[in-house]
Amino acid sequence: MKNIFLVGLPSSGKTTLGKQLARHIRYRFVDTDVLIVKEEGMSINDIFAQKGEPYFREAEARILRAIRPDSKLIVATGGGIPYFHDNMAYIKANGISVFLDVSPEEIVARIQRHASNDRPTYRKQDTQLLQNLQQKYHDRLPFYSQADFTLKGENLQIKQLLDVLQEVVTE
């Protein structure tokens, strides 16, 4: 059973939908950010502050490649994973990928409503947050778009994800 990788901007629903999907299809759920924090013994903010973004991006690639293929996992990836270190090619070669395509405007609304300040590149009080997210979306879209499936919308639901993956999860 192939792993299923969820890709998209931060706050696009990868963790929320990933956990629901794992319960529905009896897979295990993992979040690459959580795995990095566990391995490094420090928060993502601290990794960025003490070791820098290049180190963090290398840690993401290392964690991604440590995930065994065909492990029946739902993997919520960090928003930048597909963009760095040929990670999208690795994801495509080692599982099924789903792009949760949520607009930057909706992401800003979610961050303003819910997110804490635990994302080093996205802060609630950032006056340039929308512009930064729009730029990241623009830069990363060619990588996200390589996903096997795309779910587009502002309020994605587990039923939509199950419908898209129906033939994959019933094999």
Has 153 been labeled as part of a binding site? no
Q: In what order do the strands lie in the sheet with 3-7?
A: 28-31, 73-76, 3-7, 95-101, 149-152
Where does residue 60 rank: exposed (0-12), middle (13-18), buried (19+ CB within 10 A)?
buried
Has 103 been labeled as part of a binding site? no
Has 79 been labeled as part of a binding site? yes
CB-CB neighbours of 51 under 10 Å:
14
Has 140 been labeled as part of a binding site? yes
Has 43 been labeled as part of a binding site? no
Has 113 been labeled as part of a binding site? no
Has 14 been labeled as part of a binding site? yes
Has 11 been labeled as part of a binding site? yes
Has 119 been labeled as part of a binding site? yes
| Paired residues of 4 in beta bridges | 74, 96
* Binding region: 11-16, 33, 57, 79, 119, 140
* Binding region for ATP: 11-16, 119
* Binding region for substrate: 33, 57, 79, 140
